[in-house]
């Protein structure tokens, strides 16, 4: 079975905590703070691996977590960076990531960071200054990004074989390539896409046999709905119509309607119309059918051919026609993907400004209760232990510098009132 969709929960590693430590050595009076920084958490990284065929491994493990960053230690020893969680996926995988981010992994070795690890906390050495010579607090590491992401595999094929069930797609793929799809005399013999390679003197083309399409396939009828997406990467279509079928014209129109209803521009792809099972009708009738279909298709089709997978009639002509029908690939660069690289420790604190993405809003939510909203402010509060008086005093100083205290006073805040920032609630008494 081909697993072409998966939904997994990814979680970046939490950053390590900073260390509170003081240098204590013989003959070194007043050694001062020497707590090291915590290490950054590991990332969850998707890597395009050409040896992978589908997304089956992600159905066995749906929760994936990267390693946590190491805690800082004394003597200014920084914690180790958390180990990345590397997930191998098949070429052609599209990813709907966190916060609406999207990735398209088509080239071997492409990488995408889908859940970044959290930042490590600073040790007390970072907070030493002329007026704060012995800080007894450090920052906590932040949690990494986390959430559910969706992956969808779209096969990388140059041309797709389409048609109604039992139109002869699998038999044709067997004759044109070395693929071995199942062939039988009942509908929906093919229940998953099959790839085969068409050899040429100057290269190769990949053909995809797509399960048969019936009326309503784009809305979920039959087996075609979940596999229509595999045609989106094709550069041409080979549309098979059974020459001796009950209603060849109706079968052709039904498949064309489903391609259009899928909504991805499949109906605009270059198309070859192939009248299959030519051996079931006399040669003269096959020639008349080809002439009639050329008049019927007009300029919408690149050509019309009649072939027989059983006898081999017309297959060489079809091979050449497919090679000519597939247009050259555009010279655009491969889709960009975020790479997971080593990141150095932060040298300074983030600068929080009261505008743009780092801004904040202040609201009165009750008598003597105020709420501050803003991603940057919430991250700042999460980094500190509010039970530590020194850490709380430092936080009050930072809130004053950023402008939060002034904004609180403008809406009626008084010293000793409760302030809520994120999940934290505390009394703030910044003084004058």
In order along the chain (432 residues), what is the average pLDDT of each group of 10 residues? 81 96 81 92 94 83 93 94 94 91 92 95 92 92 95 85 85 82 50 76 79 54 60 88 88 87 84 92 91 85 90 91 79 40 38 53 90 91 91 90 90 88 85 58
Helix ranges, 224-359 (H): 248-262, 283-297, 315-325
Rg (CA), the chain: 32
* Helix-helix angle 389-402:375-382, to 10 degrees: 160
At 340 the pLDDT is 39
In tens, the pLDDT along 214-271 reads 554 444 444 445 667 778 888 899 999 999 888 888 989 888 888 888 877 888 889 9
Q: Are residues 364 and 411 in contact, defined by beta-carbon separation less than 8 angstroms? A: yes
Q: Supply the pLDDT for residue 128.
A: 92
Q: What is the DSSP string of 122-140?
A: PPGGGG--SS-SS----PP
Nearest in space to 167 (alpha carbons), one of 230, 213, 198: 213
**SS3 category, 394:** helix
Q: How many helices and strands (H and E) does the chain possess?
A: 8, 18
Phi and psi dihedrals of 89, rounded to 5? -130, 160
Question: What is the predicted pLDDT for the residue at 142?
Answer: 94
The C-alpha atoms of residue 42 and residue 143 are separated, in whole angstroms, by 11
Q: What is the pLDDT of residue 86?
A: 96
Taking the mean position of all CA atoms in its chain, how far away is CA 342? 21
22: phi > 0 → left, psi -120 to 50 → alpha, else beta; which? beta
The model's pLDDT over 371-428, given as tens digits with 9 standing for 90+, comes to 999 988 999 999 999 889 999 889 988 998 898 999 999 888 988 889 999 888 888 8
Domains of the chain and any CATH numbers: 1-153 (2.70.210.12), 159-325 (3.40.50.300), 356-427 (3.30.300.350)
Interatomic CA distance for residues 196 and 174, integer angstroms? 8
Pair 363, 370: CB distance under 8 Å: yes
Residue 372 three-state SS: strand
Q: Cα separation of 5 and 84, whole Å?
A: 23
- Give residue 200's pLDDT: 73
Token readout for 135 is 């800080």
Handedness of CA 371, 373, 376, 381 (dihedral sign): positive
d(CA 194, CA 179): 8
Q: Is the separation of the CB atoms in 241 and 201 below 8 Å?
A: no
SS3 of the chain: helix, strand, coil, percent, to 5: 25, 25, 50
**Using an 8 Å Cβ cutoff, are 418 and 425 in contact?**
yes
């Amino acid at each position: 079975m081909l697993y072409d969709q998966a939904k997994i929960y990814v979680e970046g590693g939490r950053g390590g905590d900073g260390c509170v430590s003081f240098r204590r050595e013989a003959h070194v009076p007043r050694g001062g703070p020497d707590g090291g920084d915590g290490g950054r958490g590991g990332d969850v990284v998707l890597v395009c691996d050409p040896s992978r065929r589908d997304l089956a491994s992600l159905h066995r493990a749906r929760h994936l977590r990267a390693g946590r960053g190491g805690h800082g230690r004394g003597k200014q020893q920084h914690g180790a960076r958390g180990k990345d969680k590397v997930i191998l996926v098949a070429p052609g995988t599209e990813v709907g990531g966190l916060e609406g981010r999207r990735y398209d992994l088509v080239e071997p070795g492409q990488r995408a960071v889908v859940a970044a690890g959290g930042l490590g906390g600073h040790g007390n050495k970072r907070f030493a200054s002329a007026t704060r010579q012995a800080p007894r607090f450090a920052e906590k590491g932040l949690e990494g990004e986390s959430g559910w992401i969706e992956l969808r595999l779209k096969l990388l094929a140059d041309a797709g074989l389409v048609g109604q069930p039992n139109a002869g797609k699998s038999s044709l793929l067997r004759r044109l390539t070395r693929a071995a799809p199942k062939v039988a005399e009942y509908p929906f013999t093919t229940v998953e896409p099959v790839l085969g390679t068409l050899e040429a003197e100057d290269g190769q083309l990949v053909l995809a046999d797509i399960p048969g399409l019936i009326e309503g396939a784009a809305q979920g009828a039959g087996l075609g709905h979940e596999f229509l997406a595999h045609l989106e990467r094709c550069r041409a279509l080979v549309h098979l119509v059974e020459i001796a079928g009950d209603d060849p014209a109706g079968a052709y129109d039904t498949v064309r309607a489903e391609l259009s209803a899928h909504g991805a521009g499949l109906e605009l792809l270059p198309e070859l119309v192939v009248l299959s099972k030519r051996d079931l009708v006399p040669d003269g009738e096959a020639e008349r059918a080809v002439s009639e279909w050329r008049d019927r298709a007009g300029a919408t089709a690149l050509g019309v051919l009649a072939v027989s997978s059983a006898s081999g009639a017309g297959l060489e002509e079809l091979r050449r026609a497919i090679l000519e029908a597939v247009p050259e690939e555009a010279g655009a660069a491969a889709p960009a993907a975020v790479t997971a690289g080593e990141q150095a420790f932060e040298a300074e604190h983030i600068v929080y400004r009261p505008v743009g993405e780092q801004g904040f809003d202040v609201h009165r939510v009750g008598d003597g209760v105020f709420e501050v909203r803003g991603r940057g402010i919430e991250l700042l509060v999460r980094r500190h232990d509010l039970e530590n008086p020194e850490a709380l005093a430092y936080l009050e100083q930072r809130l004053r510098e950023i402008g939060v205290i002034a904004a609180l006073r403008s809406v009626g805040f008084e010293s000793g009132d409760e302030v809520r920032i994120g999940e934290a609630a505390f009394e703030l008494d910044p003084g004058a």
